[in-house]
Structure 1
Amino acid sequence: MKIQISPDSKTTFAFVYFLFTFMLLWEWLRPLQAFTDTANTFIFVFFIGISFLLAFLRVRWYMTFPVKIIIILFMLHGLFFDGVFFSFLWLKDLFQDLMFNFRLMPNADWVNMTSSFRTLLFFILLWLLVYLIHYWILYQKRILLFFVLTLIYITVLDTFTPYDASLAIVRTVIIGFFMLGMLYLDRLKKVENLNMKRLTSFRWILPLFAFISLSIVLAIFAPKASPQWPDPVPYITAIGREGGEGGMQRIGYSQNDEQLGGGFVEDDTEVFIHVSSDTQYWRIETKDVYTGKGWEASDPEAELEEITNFNELNWTDERVETKSLKSTIMINNSYRHLHVMYPLGLSAIETENQLSFYFNQNTELITPFRENEGSRQEFMSYEISYDLPSYPLNEMRKEQSFASVPEGFIERYTQLPDSLPSRVRELAIRITANEDNQFDKVKAIESYLGSDEFSYDKEDVAIPEGNQDYVDQFLFDTLRGYCDNFSTSMIVLLRSIDIPARWVKGYTEGEFVKNVTNTEKEYRVTNNNAHSWVEVYFDGVGWVPFEPTKGFVNPYDLTFDYKAVEEQEQEIEQEEPTVQEEQEQPQTPEKPEQEKQEMNSESENEQAGRNFLNIRLDSTAVYITIAVMLLIGLAIYKTRMKWLPLLIIRKYRKRTDDQVFFLAYDSLLKQFDRFGMKRKDSQTLREYAQSIDDYFQMEHMTVLTKNYERALYRRDNAKEEWMRSAELWENLIKKTSS
């Protein structure tokens, strides 16, 4: 004799499965904020939580799909786009962003994809992952592979990154063992065709719980041996250093760049630590004269000028969209250079001892001291303010006239030695032959250097001999090198087709150390982070950084137009009527007090409406509202068996047409399906009706089914059969709500 399974028991186990799986997937997201630059990981946790909830409630795909799309769009808008979400005007920017990234995909140009597109891809990945895990659990009844992968993931991160996974490993093991035991029971019931009551299932779960609890206690209190193997990280990072001193230079900042080439030995000596809320490159200086062997400054004797107004240091056009940020820099006491490391868009520098700062107009090097003055003890830390730019793509694709640049500017930044081999210029022309604007030509050369033809190498790097050109050697002979090779080659290729570009050197953002606040992170910059990159000049935009070196990602973002273009046009439109109103004001009669009050009231209502629509991602009220709506939706869904039968009865009770019996009977079958008594594929209607009557201990369903079959095969009396069966049908519907 088979035991009837309670639907509540199945629901309880399914909820536990989904909850535990959600917690396992959460372990994949927890470390992201600790060892990567990923911020706001809570939005991804929220998304997978909603996805698992919808899967648990068995909501149809045509409902879950739009819900997830709306959540993704809401998150993307809050993170990357301006304007009011419900106006949907920002969708145009999103569409343009997608088109830009889709054009990069055929060339596998992954590093230049925008942050918004990567976030969208991550949401889609999580969506697919939730679906896959849902299939593993409910249909395959297996979790071992995902459990093992999770353990490997967090243990590797615990070993090789700053993330502390001690508690994560414990949580994962506990959840994984519970899931393995419970899913094995489900597979056993399926194979043996067993039906168990809830109490029988708990007899399996309780020993499992006791065994896992005992294992945890023993693991906590048992003596633990010290590590038998040494820490592998120092050994791995040291590979390649030994024996590399002969003829090699040590990596780091150097003032002399006249002779480039040759390998180097890594050096993790700390240069500075910075606390920042965004990532960017740290500039030190630029060079503009390419000699065929390296770089020099066109005016090496240029004097330092005291900075009286940082707003005069303009690297970008004032119309370029920027984000105001601050960073705190603490320089290592052993760092011997007395220059400032600063990001593009620098607007202020502050020190405790109120130092003045001096600027080299030729190289853009900034220092707190004049020549041969000052000491490290006087300049150990400083705070900077800067306006991080987002460069307008549409403007950079326009024709470049360079009408507003100073005299000699283009000649200075397109300078090349007469000894440059002609095949370098021919290569640049060939790479950019299919492009019709400066930006696309620059990107074509950047992509070419990032192709599989070239490889990044820090040791086996050639030095040009005799009359051999440094760039020509790299582009046509060795095809291997590090940042100096890639950046210098890109600049020479650009200059050979009359695109102004310059060489910039400094440091990358460094290695993540820890979270300081919710928005600020601490980074450690060492000599290994010394780097060089490219800046290209665009008319109407300014100097724009590009990153040709393989394995490096440009930290600067692209936008599609100048900042607040639409806002400026609206301000102009609003200002013109204002002037006219002022001129006509004496002739305009004063409005009645009541009319003023009505206008004020309307204005307040409009403002309230705008405030209501202008919902931002960082608003606590938004998440409270979403949570309340989800709870209300969950409550409605969980109580559907109480109110849904009443709606069904009301829908069919007063109908007397020929089709009502067939529609009402079909609704009854669906209601029993929701109740947990689904009709099997092999069951006839009469067999299914008999199982319903056995469950409720009556004969209503059998009688109703016989009447339904008579109406089905004898269509002429369907109305009469319904009149005789309506009461039976209503009683059966009510049974599902009891």
Structure 2
Amino acid sequence: MTWVGRNGGQLEPYIWFSLSAWIVFLFTFWAVQTRLHVFVLILVSILFFSIRDSFSTIFLWPQVAMVLFCGFLLLMLLHFVQLKMRAPVIWETITDYPSAIGVPIILIIAVTTLVGLLAPTVNPILTDPYTAWKVSRGESVPLLGKGVSITASTGDASSGYSRDDSKLGGGFRYDYTPVMTVETTKRTYFRGETRSLYNGKGWEYGPNEKKMPLTRVNNNPLQLDARFNRSLLKTKEVKQSIVMNREEVFPVLFGGFAIEQIVQLNQGENAFQPILWSPRQTELLFTGKNNYPKDYTIISQEPVIDEPALREVKADYMDKLEWSEYLQVRQIFRSGLNSWLSKLPKQVRMPMIKPN
């Protein structure tokens, strides 16, 4: 018994995988004895792979195709077995002239496969239940547009963040095809819109953002946020020309911080566009449902950061209303954070160093 226990332990956990596979084999061997059992086995297998494919990042459509192929092959073999038992004379004729039934079967399979390979890729007419359920809940559907083969991927990848800012995570099918082409005098970070309120799961518009003033956009310099004094701020002018490569409609126009002026829109043709400017968020909002600008040129004033000077700033922003949205701390973190800040040395309590 000691020898069995010592050597049998080496088989764990592989012995359980082998036993499970053996039980599945015996069940399958029993299940293919009748035509109804084969149909049920095909249906259960397809449902398993379809559900696993929908709720994961794994491509399982090749496995579904293989299940269908093997299932129909089993049905055909079962038909021949029953034909041999019930009509031995006809079976002897088929065995004497196998091409009489073999050629039509091969032609049907070949023609069906050829039509499937030559058929164009089209969107499904009916929405599958999983996608319909997710959309009805207002959630994004990860990995939309899965192909039949993993090797058919054109560089797409699965990302960990959805398009819904109010709830981070969820995942979506990231597309690497170009969105826009940019010519700029300086490489900079492009931004579109911002959110100031963190709800514990993601970002939303704060109360002030929902009531923020908006102005119409023309060829004049854009209005600045009157809450802040920029007299000591040094900036560098950056000119950016954007050409959109897609026909999509975005809620904002993109540009480097901070946008100062739109100098050209649609190459001067059809320059009137439903565009609004938010001074508080420095956002160019596009309010139209179609006819998104195909190209535009903007001028930005990029702040020049003087880090040594920022480290010397001793201003207190805690009691100023204009800074409240930038200093938001959720109630569940507030007590612990205040306790931690009180323990910091005085030399690191300056506004520039505190966040670090």
* TM-score normalised by L of structure 2: 0.45
Q: Which has the greater radius of gyration?
A: 1
* TM-score normalised by L of structure 1: 0.24
Where is the helix percentage greater, Structure 1 or Structure 2? 1
Q: Relative contact order, CA 8 A, sep 6+: which one is greater?
A: 1
